[in-house]
Structure 1
Amino acid sequence: MGATDAQASSGLLTLCFATALLCIVLARVYRMPISFAWSTPGAALLIAASSTTNNFSAAVGAFMVCGVLIVLCGLWPALGTAITRIPRSIASAMLAGILFPICLAPVSAIVQIPALAVPVVLVWLALFRIAPRWAVPAAMGVAAIGIGVSAGSGWLTNSSLNVVPQLSFVTPTFDWLVIVSLGLPLFIVTMAGQNVPGFVVMSTFGYSVPPRPVLVASGAATAVGALFGAHAVNLAAITAAIMAGPDSHTDKSKRWVATVTSGFVYIAFGLAAGVAVALISASPPILITAVAGLALLGALVSSLATAIEEVSHRIPAAATFLVTASGVSVLGIGSAFWGLLVGALIMLWAAWPRRRA
């Protein structure tokens, strides 16, 4: 979306450090494994939103609006309740529509750059059968080797890149078209796809997480982090299940230590942000998107399954998915918003006669 290498590196560094701070502080204060992460569906949305704007300053403004809305959900419970009442089928269909073009990228990459893409897909496919947990990391490793070989020895010492990440302040621009196309969908998928499931996961392991401090802290971190290029920080769901479960510690009262530990690991990851951006800058964009597509296949399947789970919602969900996946832009507003709107209108229209009767 128009970010320079320095801004991209700063954004990744900020995401890691903000996540680390929240993991360390809130887990220690509440003595619970309250885990945080950056928004995975939000990151997928950024890939799909590249056609929405090429002005990173406007994108930063949209990130800030997303953060403020998350804070409002914490301070004003009625708003949080309204967001959670968005039918899961519609929210999941919108996310599936966002993910679908990304998950097509491996196919396009095989056609466009077979020498780099075929080994990546083959390694992923082999490990998907024998060691699924390692399939995506191994695919990324093969992609990195291929990028390094094809780019030569100078990719890491390119004078235009700085492998030591530094914070880069971005002055926000508040463009209502970008806010509607990017900021609002980012807020919805972060709340519906991360925060709400995160609370549910924690409750299944017997932890009653206070929503106000979690939402206010993560929303504030998102709004402030946006000024340095970060998109969204939220309550973790998948990693929360790891750290809140018995594999973390047999004693439920001590599992918070795992979350604090993960915070320090996030700091280490953040310090590698410059190397990550240098690697991606040296890569054909389709290859990085292809690896992301392989990583997000599970999320696509899960989103589609949730979208069609309820029979009465299948047509609105299908409409949401198709409009979002189409990538259309009307009045400068991206397809994620229109998909959500079309699905909601069809759902209301289908239910209206029954309600009137």
Structure 2
Amino acid sequence: MKTPPSPAVDANVRSTHFSYLIKDYFPAVVAGMIAVLISYAGPMLLMLQAAQAAHLSDALSSSWLWAVSVGSGLCGVGLSYRYKIPVICAWNTPGAALLVTGLMTVPYQEAIGAYVVAAALAFIIGITGAFQKIMSAIPKSLCAAMLAGILFRFGVDIFANARSEVSGAPILTATLFLAYLLFKRRSTRYAIVLTLLTGILLSILFGWGNPPIIHLGNETRLWSLALTTPVWTTPQFSFNAIISLGLPLALLCLTGQQVPGIAVLRAAGFEKAPVSQLISITSITSLLLAPFGSHGINLAAITAAICTGPEAHHQIQKRWIAGIACGIFYILIGCFAGSLKSLFLLLPHALVTTIAGLALLGAIQNGLSNAMENPTEREPALITFIVTASNITVMGLGAACWGIILGILSYLLLRQPRKQAS
């Protein structure tokens, strides 16, 4: 008869197992944190600019940030857990850029009505399966090229900091780059984590960040943490708002966010991702949160590349933890959106851009490699990459949309067998 293990031995086994889990999933958790950090350090500024242009109150702008943060977090946690893939969600960044000028001419309640219409349209396209059929018809090489083109400027931004006139930016960038190479040589999994910690430590030591102080008129006070209360705004529907905001928001969401988002998952090896479910669930979440200010929740592209690559976890089947972590960070920040929106502005810009670029090097490499894999598709893929990386905007459509359009056109024309000369 076997002797049962003593409580002390059992406790040691549990402790060892718990320590292993923390060590095993730590890079995935940090990948989720970096993805959230990048989301707030860049796209959030567009939302704040749009809120200022529309003269929204602090309560309404905080509610807006609460809605997109909590919505992105809930979708990310739920979808990542349900399908065991790293589903990273975010808000409609091109749509936020549109609202910088759009909210100046449309009353806020009518803008909310336009948000509802945009989310409903995206939901219908997702639930009917039309979006999945479109994505299935696009060659994988073109999706990989588009991903590489989207992320290319983030790699360039690493070295663009070297000519920055901001105090400490060139030194911080050079130090972080050297630290990344040294850490990568010793440990691929923890290179980004250690580089980020190095950057934060240097920023604190040399005072390259901004102090946590808020200026209110003639008063100056220390930053404080407080829960954000969401504000309901009853939608009003007008033809002008639907045409000028609703339809463009739906188009920008699908072409500028959902298409690259699916492309990231496919390029990372998650080719069986349930496209229709991902599109419809993010769209219905946008619909439910629109009265609180959400202009659109969708799949992320740039930040998703951080959480779907080997930097998040060397085993592809465990990278979904990064999606869970990212979603939880979004929810926590969303609950304190009013206070934390100023806290993210305290980090040095050079730190954020350098860490983003370094974290995306692997995704850029994989995108270019997959784009050039098929000899018969290399030229269309190259065209897709160049157009996407050009960052052009024509007729209101961004570079990613034009990249995939011109790439498909090139693919269709060049794949036809040439007529032999008589």
2:208 corresponds to: 150
Relative to structure 1, is the Cα distance of residues 214 and 94 closer, same or farther in structure 2, using a 3 angstrom cutoff? closer
- Alpha-carbon offset, residue 196 of structure 1: 9.2
1:304 lines up with 2:368 in the alignment: yes
| CA distance in structure 2 between the aligned counterparts of 1:67 and 1:24, rounded to whole angstroms | 20
Choose which of 225, 228, 239 in structure 1 pairs with 2:294: 228
1:347 lines up with 2:403 in the alignment: no
Letter in 1 for 2:261: T
- Alpha-carbon offset, residue 304 of structure 1: 1.0
1:192 lines up with 2:263 in the alignment: yes
| CA distance in structure 1 between the aligned counterparts of 2:116 and 2:194, rounded to whole angstroms | 35
1:17 corresponds to: 70
Post-superposition CA distance 1:137-183 (Å, at most 9, x none): 33333333444422454x35555977546357899861766765665
| CA distance in structure 1 between the aligned counterparts of 2:289 and 2:86, rounded to whole angstroms | 18
1:108 corresponds to: 160
Deviates more, 1:215-224 or 1:123-132: 215-224
- Alpha-carbon offset, residue 289 of structure 1: 2.1
- Residue correspondence of structure 1 range 201-212 to structure 2 within 5 A: none
| CA distance in structure 1 between the aligned counterparts of 2:67 and 2:193, rounded to whole angstroms | 22
| CA distance in structure 1 between the aligned counterparts of 2:170 and 2:255, rounded to whole angstroms | 37
Post-superposition CA distance 1:59-82 (Å, at most 9, x none): 999997885565335421243122
- Alpha-carbon offset, residue 123 of structure 1: 2.3
1:219 corresponds to: 283
- Alpha-carbon offset, residue 188 of structure 1: 0.7
| CA distance in structure 2 between the aligned counterparts of 1:301 and 1:63, rounded to whole angstroms | 36
Residues 60 and 231, structure 1, Cα contact 8 Å, conserved in 2: no
Letter in 1 for 2:412: L
SS across alignment from 1:4 = helix
Choose which of 89, 94, 112 in structure 2 pairs with 1:38: 89
- Alpha-carbon offset, residue 233 of structure 1: 4.2
- Alpha-carbon offset, residue 344 of structure 1: 1.4
- Residue correspondence of structure 1 range 275-354 to structure 2 within 5 A: 277-353=341-417
Q: Which runs of 5+ in 1 are unaligned?
A: 203-208, 249-254
* TM-score normalised by the chain length of structure 2: 0.61
SS across alignment from 2:149 = helix
- Alpha-carbon offset, residue 290 of structure 1: 2.2
Alignment identity in percent? 24
| CA distance in structure 1 between the aligned counterparts of 2:152 and 2:112, rounded to whole angstroms | 25
Letter in 1 for 2:394: V
Letter in 1 for 2:294: F
| CA distance in structure 2 between the aligned counterparts of 1:144 and 1:84, rounded to whole angstroms | 42
Letter in 1 for 2:71: A
Deviates more, 1:184-193 or 1:56-65: 56-65
Residues 393 and 399, structure 2, Cα contact 8 Å, conserved in 1: yes
SS across alignment from 1:232 = strand
Deviates more, 1:285-294 or 1:140-149: 140-149
Relative to structure 1, is the Cα distance of residues 95 and 4 closer, same or farther in structure 2, using a 3 angstrom cutoff? same
2:308 corresponds to: 238
SS across alignment from 1:174 = helix
Post-superposition CA distance 1:92-114 (Å, at most 9, x none): 21121111111111111133221
SS across alignment from 1:132 = coil
1:96 corresponds to: 148
1:2 lines up with 2:46 in the alignment: yes
Residues 218 and 234, structure 1, Cα contact 8 Å, conserved in 2: no
Relative to structure 1, is the Cα distance of residues 105 and 8 closer, same or farther in structure 2, using a 3 angstrom cutoff? farther
Choose which of 108, 129, 133 in structure 2 pairs with 1:77: 129
| CA distance in structure 2 between the aligned counterparts of 1:332 and 1:179, rounded to whole angstroms | 12
| CA distance in structure 2 between the aligned counterparts of 1:63 and 1:309, rounded to whole angstroms | 40
Count of aligned positions:
335
Residues 70 and 215, structure 1, Cα contact 8 Å, conserved in 2: yes
2:3 corresponds to: none
Residues 37 and 234, structure 1, Cα contact 8 Å, conserved in 2: yes
Residues 12 and 270, structure 1, Cα contact 8 Å, conserved in 2: yes
Post-superposition CA distance 1:217-270 (Å, at most 9, x none): 23322454563366424798839x97x98879xxxxxx99x9989866664455
Residues 181 and 333, structure 1, Cα contact 8 Å, conserved in 2: yes
| CA distance in structure 1 between the aligned counterparts of 2:264 and 2:158, rounded to whole angstroms | 24
Residues 253 and 296, structure 2, Cα contact 8 Å, conserved in 1: no
Q: Return the index of the structure with the highest Cα Rg.
A: 2
Residues 180 and 337, structure 1, Cα contact 8 Å, conserved in 2: no
Relative to structure 1, is the Cα distance of residues 62 and 137 closer, same or farther in structure 2, using a 3 angstrom cutoff? farther
- Alpha-carbon offset, residue 301 of structure 1: 0.9
Residues 12 and 230, structure 1, Cα contact 8 Å, conserved in 2: no
1:128 corresponds to: 184
- Alpha-carbon offset, residue 200 of structure 1: 4.0
Relative to structure 1, is the Cα distance of residues 275 and 334 closer, same or farther in structure 2, using a 3 angstrom cutoff? same
SS across alignment from 1:150 = coil
Relative to structure 1, is the Cα distance of residues 118 and 86 closer, same or farther in structure 2, using a 3 angstrom cutoff? same
Residues 143 and 267, structure 2, Cα contact 8 Å, conserved in 1: no
Relative to structure 1, is the Cα distance of residues 108 and 66 closer, same or farther in structure 2, using a 3 angstrom cutoff? farther
Post-superposition CA distance 1:259-289 (Å, at most 9, x none): 9898666644555766764344234534422
SS across alignment from 2:88 = strand
CA RMSD of aligned residues (A): 4.9
Letter in 2 for 1:346: S
